[in-house]
Structure formats: structure tokens, C-alpha cells
Amino acid sequence: MVRNAVAVSAPGKVLLAGGYLVLDREYTGLVFGLDARIHVTVQAIPTSSGVTLNEIVVQSPQFQDAAWEYGYRLAERDGGMSVTPLRVSGAYLPRLHSYSDADLNLNRNIFIETTISYALSYIASLSSPMISPASVTILADNDYYSTPASLASGPDPVPRFHNFDVPISKAHKTGLGSSAALVTALTGALLSYYLPRETYDTTTDLGKRQLHNLAQAAHCAAQGKVGSGFDVASAVHGSCIYRRFSPCILTRHVEPGKRNFGSQLRDIVNESHGSLEWDHEILKEGVKVPKGLRLVMCDVSCGSQTPGMVKQVLAWRKAKPAEANEIWTELHRNNIALVGDLRSAAEIAEHNPARRYADITKRFHSIRALIRTMSEKSGVPIEPPEQTELLDACENVPGVVGGVVPGAGGYDAVALLIQDDEDVIARLQRLLAGWKFRTSENGVAGGRVSMLGVREEMEGVRVEEMGQYREWMT
């Protein structure tokens, strides 16, 4: 059976309000999707008559040695689909090569491998469809990675999908949520490719719920823990207010390959046969950037180790619950108020233009002050002094309404809300062009600061036209 090629993309994210709090179901997070997307295409691998392959070949051609081959087979006793790495890099060849475990682990991509395993296990659990060999291409919009200075200053326009010409491990992430966007887009593409439209359709509400549940399961498994899931939720649904799901939903099923994994995963995704109903909340109504404003991200070319920071903050909260909960409660109050401030900004402008964005600016100041307090109390650089200095300077630029170090904080890109005006952007770019991110006492190297090309994106996952990717596909 020859299937039609498919392409699916999912957006990046910025958790504008609710960092750390979103880990607790008592609180919510305000997350905006970004128009930087991860794109995944799936197409058939042509084979000679009589040749049978059980392989999925994955390539990410913007990076060196970013190619993987996986073999797959149905595990016994309803254990799901067992996925095994066959090759670590190089173009597809229809034969097996011998690599040591050390070689395989060196270039292993656990997010791709786990997502393929979960997606194929779910597909196989439905009606045992024929899972034919396939070629997968992954492309990332440039803003997921710091743009090399030589490219940024060159005379030629930057291509949509830049060839970074380095291994993925050497590419500097900007903190836009690449792993969640990758898992979501890859899951959606595999489901769209292998399942008939009447069983799965990315464009429907039911299809998005299936995708959300399966992508959350795969992403959590790849991370080795059950996270809040806000990044996957925004990759599926776009900008929203998010309340996390109960962790027990994903802690009760057995491991892939174990007996009944396939049917348990199917029931979790479909919320059937006595499985726990997903209790996360997605609220899109009223979540928007007011007309006349836009969201921008400024890359500081450093990056943070988010899991370690989260672990330390949670340890502080456990050790000093009264102190932590007082700060969290006040932060939550201000985060909820920020949503209201954004919603009412347009109405205020009609009656009092001079105060158009005053409430939003004040709210950002309150949120940042509380975040700095949490940084001090927990000993975690959520808004480190270097970022404070940068944000203060940006807020002094006329037309900049306010900003934060989003999500878990640290040294990832900062988020700013600015007037959507070319003069404001030009003034901000002049500031950043001369900005030197000073060396941190925490051992973080200084570097240049640049404005990314992203802005807010209301739409989540979407099906794309294949034609725009032809030059990147083999």
C-alpha cells in the first residue's frame, strides 16, 4: 500500500506567566504559542519488488550527522511496538550495519526514538494496520537556535531553514520549546500518515485531544518524568491558559515492551475502558495580545539547565512551604491579573489613551519583583542579575511595555511585550546591537544579545503543504 506523504508542524511556546507554579494543579500558566515551528514530513521509502523492510529513517538535514534508522517489530503479549536504533548517522541504505552500544548512545535522540515507539504502539493497538517503512524529515524554523554571527551579519537574506552545519549537540537552543514541538509534530505526522482519516484527523477537536494525550505520554516518557505538560499543550492548541493534568494518569501504565502496554496506551489516549479521564484545562477564550502590541523574544546566547533549576526550586518549597506558598500565592494573583490587564488594554485605550498600557507595565514590575524574591529565597537564578540588567534597559526603550524571563527563567531568551511599531523595533534593535551580556559569577559566559524573528501565534498544530519542503527531502 502506497500512502500519500504528509507534513505537520507545531509551534514553539513562551510561558509568559506561571513558571514553576504550573507544576501544581492549584495554579495555571499563561502560555503563548510562537510562530517558530518544528516541521515533520513523512513519506514512503521505495523498495524493490519482493523486498520487505521494517525501518523508519529519520533525518534532520540542518545539522551534521543528524540521521537515524530505526527497526520496529510488534512485541509479544501486547507489548506495543519495539523500536531499535539501527544506524547512528548517514543517508539511508537498505541494509544493516554493525555499531557498538557506545556508538549508538553517542548520537541517540531519545525524543525521536520514544515518540516513534509510542506512536507506532498506539497505531498498532487500534486495528493492526500495515505499518510500512517510511522516511521522516524534521525541519526547525531558525529561531529555535542562536543564529551564527556570520549568518546574521551577512549580506544575503537568511533562508527559512538555515543549515547550521554543526551537530545538534553543538547548536545553541534559544529555549522556545523545541522538544515539545518536535514530539507533537512527529506524533501528528505519524498518526496522519498511517491512520485513515475517519480514525484520526489532526484538524478536529477529537484529533487534537488524541494527539495531546499521546504526545504528552511520549514526551513525559522521553524526559523520564511527568512534567506539567504546558509546552505540549501549547504545541497542540496554541496560546492558552493551562492547568496541568494529574500525574497519576501517566504513571499507571507499564513500560513499553511489557505485557499489555499497547492496550493500556490506547486506553490512556482514547480515555476508554476505565482509564482515568484527562483533567487538564485549556482555556483559549480571551487569551490574546492586545491590538497594537506584539510579543518579541531576545536571545542571550547562553541557555539554562531547566531540570536542575526546577528540582532546586521544588526542594526549597518542600523545605520551607510557608515561605514558598506565600510567594506562589501572590505570584498567581498577579499572573491571573495580567491576563485581565491584557484583555482590557484595548478598552482602556478607547477612554484614556495616555494610560493604554500602564496597568500592564505595573503588573510586569510586580511579577518580576516576586520572581526575584523567589530567586533569592530558593538560591536559583530565575531572574539572575544579568537578566535584570537587560530587562531594565529594554523597558527604558520608548514603546517597550514590559518583559520577563519566562518559564523556568535563567539564561534563556527573555520575552518582551512592545508596541507593534517599526520605530520601536528599530530602537530596541539598536540597544541590543551594542549590548554585551556580561560574564556571570555563576559561570555563564557572556555573549551578544539579538532579537529573534518570532512573535505570538494563536494557532497550534496544523497540517502543511508538502511542496514547501521539497528541496530538503531525499
Confidence of residue 159 (pLDDT cuts 50, 70, 90): confident
**Does the pLDDT value for residue 403 go beyond 80?**
yes
Q: What is the rounded average pLDDT of the residues 126-130?
A: 76
Length of the chain measured in residues = 474
Per the listing, cell 518579541 goes with: 296
Q: Are 22 and 40 in contact (CB under 8 A)?
A: no
DSSP characters for 44-70? EPP--TT----EEEEE-TTSBT-EEEE
Q: Are 460 and 33 in contact (CB under 8 A)?
A: yes
Quickly count: other Cβ atoms within 10 Å of residue 38's Cβ. Answer: 27
Quickly count: other Cβ atoms within 10 Å of residue 51's Cβ. Answer: 9
Confidence of residue 88 (pLDDT cuts 50, 70, 90): low
**Does the pLDDT value for residue 93 go beyond 60?**
no
DSSP characters for 295-363? EEEEE-S----HHHHHHHHHHHHHHSHHHHHHHHHHHHHHHHHHHHHHHHHHHHHHH-GGGTTHHHHHH
Q: Check residue 90 and give left, alpha or beta (phi > 0: left; psi -120 to 50: alpha).
A: left
Cell numbers placing 82: 519495539
**C-alpha count within 13 angstroms, C-beta hemisphere, residue 23:** 15
Alpha-carbon distance 156 to 154, whole Å? Answer: 6
Task: With H, G, I as helix, E, B as strand and everything else as coil, classify residue 33.
Answer: strand
Range of weakest confidence among 161-165, 195-199, 220-224, 355-359? 355-359
Confidence of residue 471 (pLDDT cuts 50, 70, 90): confident
Q: Element (H or E) spanning 11, and its range? A: strand 6-17
Q: Are 154 and 162 in contact (CB under 8 A)?
A: no
Q: If you classify domain 293-456 with CATH, what class do you get?
A: alpha beta
Q: What was the pLDDT predicted at 275?
A: 74
**Does the pLDDT value for residue 151 go beyond 70?**
no
How far, in Å, are 1, 27, 149, 247, 268 from residue 278 at the CA level? 35, 17, 45, 10, 8
Q: What was the pLDDT predicted at 94?
A: 38
> In this predicted model, which residue has the larger pLDDT, 350 or 464?
464
What are the structural domain ranges in the chain?
6-284+459-472, 293-456
Q: What is the rounded average pLDDT of the residues 301-311?
A: 73
Q: Are 158 and 146 in contact (CB under 8 A)?
A: no
**Does the pLDDT value for residue 153 go beyond 60?**
no
Q: Are 348 and 356 in contact (CB under 8 A)?
A: yes
Handedness of CA 459, 461, 466, 470 (dihedral sign): positive
**Does the pLDDT value for residue 447 go beyond 90?**
no
Confidence of residue 92 (pLDDT cuts 50, 70, 90): very low
Q: pLDDT (tens digit, 9 = 90+) per residue, 218-245?
A: 999 999 988 899 999 999 999 999 999 9
Q: What is the rounded average pLDDT of the residues 184-193?
A: 98
pLDDT above 90 as % of the chain: 69
Task: With H, G, I as helix, E, B as strand and everything else as coil, classify residue 403.
Answer: strand
The rounded mean pLDDT for the chain is 88
Q: What is the rounded average pLDDT of the residues 46-61?
A: 77
Q: Are 403 and 374 in contact (CB under 8 A)?
A: no
DSSP characters for 134-192? EEEEEEE-GGGBPPPHHHHTSSSPPPSS----SBGGGS-B-SS-HHHHHHHHHHHHHHH
Contacts of 213 (CB under 8 A, 6+ apart): 268, 269, 270, 271, 278
Q: What was the pLDDT predicted at 76?
A: 93
Residue type present at position 455: R
Alpha-carbon distance 147 to 172, whole Å? Answer: 8
Task: With H, G, I as helix, E, B as strand and everything else as coil, classify residue 198.
Answer: coil
Pick the CATH number of 6-284+459-472 from 3.30.56.10, 3.40.50.1110, 3.30.230.10, 3.40.30.120: 3.30.230.10
Per the listing, cell 492548541 goes with: 237
**Does the pLDDT value for residue 190 go beyond 60?**
yes
